[in-house]
DNA sequence: ACCAGCGGGACGCCCCGTTTCT
DNA sequence: AGAAACGGGGCGTCCCGCTGGT
């Protein structure tokens, strides 16, 4: 079935609309009526693009992999720089890209309900640990600290800021993450770098 | 009054059971049937203790204030020590006390859905900012850093670790928070403290 | 859970109401709203007694076995007499007992859709074949005819009459089956019996 | 006009495809998507040939009259012979011609749901009664039996066999009907014909 | 009296027959 | 002609009164 251009556009809009609802209300509390209303469509029309509510969520979650792909302009950069870019862009996209925000919430809800580790988080942690190790070898990060703890800290920061962003009205989340990174810089450099 | 004592006990057990479900599935996806089954009661019996599902949630949320009350043995301690205790105990209780874990999730869901700042988070942030300022005056924390950014970082860490705890199978969350605090110590002390 | 008397009564009434709808409209075209309306209940109330539409159908089908159980007053009777009773009572109950009528339709629809042989029909045919053989040994039925063909004929008659009963406005179906049996009697007795 | 010829062919194929689905699932449980898929068309294309689902069913039912038309080679035959041909060909076509099978099911469902006598059954019964009477006058059938009961029996047999055909895996239905007719022959001939 | 259990009402997802655009 | 959209339910499910057994 060769999809028509309009259908493709509707599909993308539907994904955005669903992401906005999922991000706000979670999977279970989102109803397709609200999504359809956002789109100016009917529920039945949604069914032409997705076969179930779960499929919509799965599509959004599948796009999460993008945020882990090495940033295009990151090649050739030192590891500590790529680490900075990853952490900051993560905080940025979670807050600004509704699809990423929704996907993160969906993954989290699923993980809480089933108790299983989502593939995304495992890969994220592995990526960060590896970057930290690499940066330590390159001298960009103090090698005397355990890489795992550093990685946990660097992952916890953007998610933690996102998690409590409501406390400050979601005001300039990426800016605050950047400021935190500035705080952490001497810590990463190590005691001698002061 | 043994009758009232049993009722009181059932009430507490119901709160625990509800908390376990809320923590796992969130408010909307928790059904009272599961809670009643956990208790060995019927749904109707629950309504003898609570007038609605929302009331159960409200009771749990109301208990959240306890975690902000100054730790009993914290009086007379320096501010940076009380800060440490607050952050670590927060991470600890979120993970170990089902009621706190449930309340945190409920508050968060409410905040996401309505877009309003929960009172709990505002107070938490105020408390931490104040403690940081106090510690800076006492010399326990480097005064050259902005207190707000430091506070945001210190709040983000326990929540961030909690948020991504599923990635590591919830293994020793408090221990990892303590390790992170160890990492952050020199940062807090300031460059000259090395 | 000790069911209360009223619940038990509601359960039976629900089964009857559902049977009436199933018998008239088939499984797929029956909606629980109509069943509930018949009962003066709501759909939600039905859910307290059955967990799904399919379960209601299953309950009705399960009762079909009763019509195959040897008639209580049939013991000691000659086989050809019990055969007569079985065929006539079958036609009778299909037409008069809504539950049996519904179950027969449900079984038939299922068989048509899946292409599999329902257990009920297999047992019915086996029973009739066996009774025919026994009657032939006892001399009640002409032994020179193949038992299978006789059995098929004797099974086809009540179902066929039921199937086309609409052509005559369901007028006195059992009576007509009895008349047919009268016609078939000399056939069964054999040529010499005239 | 090859274009119209192809449309005509598609129309016939659509009727066959719909008949196959109607025969298997009944009217209400048949969805046009399955019919369209069978044809390699889309649902919308079906609406170029039929204006509604009901119209498709109506077309199939309308063709039912054909099976009542006197068999072309039956002219000049004695009535009891034409009766035999009618009964056997009826059983044959119901089982082998999907359109007839579907139409019979559709007519039956309609009759059950509305409680009205379908025209087809009335005409079938009239035809058979008349043929029986004629055969009795011609001496082909024992005149001492009531024609109506004989006709009911002769109609019930093919439909009854069809109805329970699932019990024997639809194995050689026409053959079994022929065998039954053989059994019934002496009955029809009367006692003196032995 | 009291509480389990029965029933009510509402709605969410899914699905389908049908019409409207492209 | 075919894809996209529409609108109307159907089943399942849930939260919650109300009432009849104990």
Summarised one tens digit per residue, pLDDT across range A145-181 is 899 999 999 999 999 999 888 777 777 888 888 889 9
CA distances from D89 to A191, B170, C2, D74 (A): 100, 74, 58, 12
In the prediction, which pLDDT does A70 show?
Answer: 67
Residue A192 confidence (pLDDT) above 70: no
In the prediction, which pLDDT does B74 show?
Answer: 67
Name the nucleotide with the smallest C1'–CA separation from C29: F10
**Which of residues C63 and C167 earns the better pLDDT score?**
C63
Tell me if chain C has a CB within 8 Å of the CB of D114. no
Chain B nearest-CA distance from A118, in A, is: 7
Mean pLDDT of B164-186: 83
Summarised one tens digit per residue, pLDDT across range C134-152 is 999 999 899 998 999 999 9
In the prediction, which pLDDT does A124 show?
Answer: 92
Which of A 174-193 lie inside 8 A of B, CB atoms?
176, 179-180, 183-184, 186-187, 191
Best of A144, A169, A183 to disrupt the B interface (most B CBs within 10 Å) is: A183
Chain B nearest-CA distance from A167, in A, is: 5
Chain D hits for C64, Cβ within 8 Å: none
Report d(CA B62, CA A42) in Å as an integer.
40
Report d(CA A128, CA B131) in Å as an integer.
31
What mean pLDDT value characterizes chain D?
Answer: 88
Which of B 59-88 lie inside 8 A of A, CB atoms?
none
Report d(CA D29, CA D27) in Å as an integer.
6
Flag if A184 and B180 touch (Cβ within 8 Å). no
Does B contact A via 3+ CB–CB distances below 8 Å?
A: yes
Flag if B167 and A118 touch (Cβ within 8 Å). yes
What mean pLDDT value characterizes chain B?
Answer: 87
- Identify the residue whose Cα has the smallest distance to the C1' of F12: C52
The pLDDT-based confidence of D1 (bands split at 50, 70, 90) is very low
Residue B42 confidence (pLDDT) above 90: no
Summarised one tens digit per residue, pLDDT across range B103-136 is 999 999 999 999 888 889 889 999 999 999 999 9
pLDDT exceeding 70 applies to what percent of chain D?
93
Can you list the pairs that B140-148 forms with residues at least 24 positions away whose Cβ atoms lie under 8 Å? B140/B78, B140/B79, B140/B80, B140/B81, B140/B188, B141/B79, B141/B80, B141/B83, B141/B188, B141/B189, B141/B190, B142/B187, B142/B188, B142/B189, B142/B190, B142/B191, B142/B193, B143/B190, B144/B190, B145/A183, B145/B190, B146/A179
Chain C nearest-CA distance from D157, in A, is: 6
Q: Which nucleotides of E are covered by protein (CB under 7 A)?
A: 2-20, 22
For tokens 């006197």, name the residue.
D70
For tokens 């403690």, name the residue.
B131
- Identify the residue whose Cα has the smallest distance to the C1' of E5: B44
Interatomic distance B44 CA / F19 C1' (Å): 12
Interatomic distance B42 CA / F17 C1' (Å): 15
Summarised one tens digit per residue, pLDDT across range C43-61 is 989 999 999 999 999 999 9
The pLDDT-based confidence of D194 (bands split at 50, 70, 90) is very low
Report d(CA C99, CA C170) in Å as an integer.
17
Chain A nearest-CA distance from B6, in A, is: 31
D27 CB below 7 A from strand E atoms: no
Summarised one tens digit per residue, pLDDT across range C111-141 is 999 998 899 999 999 999 999 999 999 998 9
Q: Which one of A24, A163, A183 has the shortest CB-CB distance to B163?
A: A163
Q: Which one of C124, C159, C187 has the shortest CB-CB distance to D183?
A: C187
D43 CB below 7 A from strand E atoms: yes
Summarised one tens digit per residue, pLDDT across range D105-142 is 999 999 999 998 888 998 999 999 999 999 999 988 98
CA distances from D103 to C112, D13, D35, D121 (A): 15, 16, 16, 12
Candidates A48, A40, A82, A86; CA nearest to A66 is A86
Tell me if chain D has a CB within 8 Å of the CB of C41. no
Flag if C150 and D183 touch (Cβ within 8 Å). yes
Tell me if chain B has a CB within 8 Å of the CB of A122. yes
Candidates A189, A140, A158; CA nearest to B186 is A189
Chain B hits for A187, Cβ within 8 Å: 183-184, 186-187
Query: Is residue C78 a contact partner of residue C140, using CB atoms and an 8 Å limit?
Result: yes
The pLDDT-based confidence of A194 (bands split at 50, 70, 90) is very low
Chain C hits for D157, Cβ within 8 Å: 153, 156-157, 160
Query: Is residue D68 a contact partner of residue D23, using CB atoms and an 8 Å limit?
Result: no
pTM: 0.89
Report d(CA A17, CA C64) in Å as an integer.
51
Write down the H helix ranges in chain B.
2-29, 32-39, 43-46, 53-62, 79-96, 98-114, 119-138, 147-163, 173-189
Report d(CA B144, CA B19) in Å as an integer.
42
Residue D84 tokens read as 């035999």
Residue A193 confidence (pLDDT) above 50: no
Summarised one tens digit per residue, pLDDT across range A18-51 is 999 999 999 999 999 999 999 999 999 999 999 9
Report d(CA C141, CA A61) in Å as an integer.
73
Summarised one tens digit per residue, pLDDT across range D156-165 is 999 999 988 8
In the prediction, which pLDDT does C193 show?
Answer: 47
What mean pLDDT value characterizes chain A?
Answer: 88
Report d(CA A26, CA B110) in Å as an integer.
11
What b/e readout covers B177-189, taking b as 16+ CB neighbours within 10 angstroms? Answer: bbbbbebbebbbe
Candidates C110, B85, C93; CA nearest to D25 is C110
For tokens 């221990």, name the residue.
B175
CA atoms within 13 A on the CB side of C43: 7
- Name the closest residue on chain D to residue C191, using Cα atoms: D194
Interatomic distance D44 CA / F5 C1' (Å): 13
- Identify the residue whose Cα has the smallest distance to the C1' of F21: C4
The CA radius of gyration of chain C, in Å to the nearest whole number, is: 19
Instruction: Give the torsion sign (CA, A16, A17, A18, A21).
Output: positive
Candidates A109, A150, A112, A108; CA nearest to A132 is A150
Start-to-end CA span in chain B (Å): 61
Start-to-end CA span in chain A (Å): 63
């Amino acid at each position: 079935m060769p999809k028509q251009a309009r259908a493709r556009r509707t599909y993308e809009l539907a994904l955005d609309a669903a992401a906005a609802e999922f991000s706000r209300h979670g999977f279970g509390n989102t109803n397709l009526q609200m999504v359809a209303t956002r789109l100016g469509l009917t529920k039945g029309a949604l069914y032409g693009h997705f076969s179930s509510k779960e499929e919509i969520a799965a599509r959004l979650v599948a796009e999460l992999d993008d945020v882990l792909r090495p940033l295009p302009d990151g090649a050739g950069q030192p590891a500590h720089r790529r680490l900075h870019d990853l952490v900051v862009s993560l905080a940025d996209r979670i807050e600004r890209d509704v699809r990423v925000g929704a996907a993160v919430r969906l993954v989290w809800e699923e993980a809480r309900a089933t108790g299983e580790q989502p593939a995304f988080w495992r890969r994220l942690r592995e990526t960060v640990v590896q970057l930290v190790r690499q940066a330590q070898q390159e001298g960009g990060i103090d090698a005397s600290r355990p890489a795992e703890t550093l990685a946990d800290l660097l992952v916890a920061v953007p998610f933690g800021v996102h998690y409590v962003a409501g406390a400050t009205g979601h005001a300039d989340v990426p800016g605050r993450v950047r400021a935190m990174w500035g705080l952490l810089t001497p810590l990463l450099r190590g005691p001698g770098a002061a």
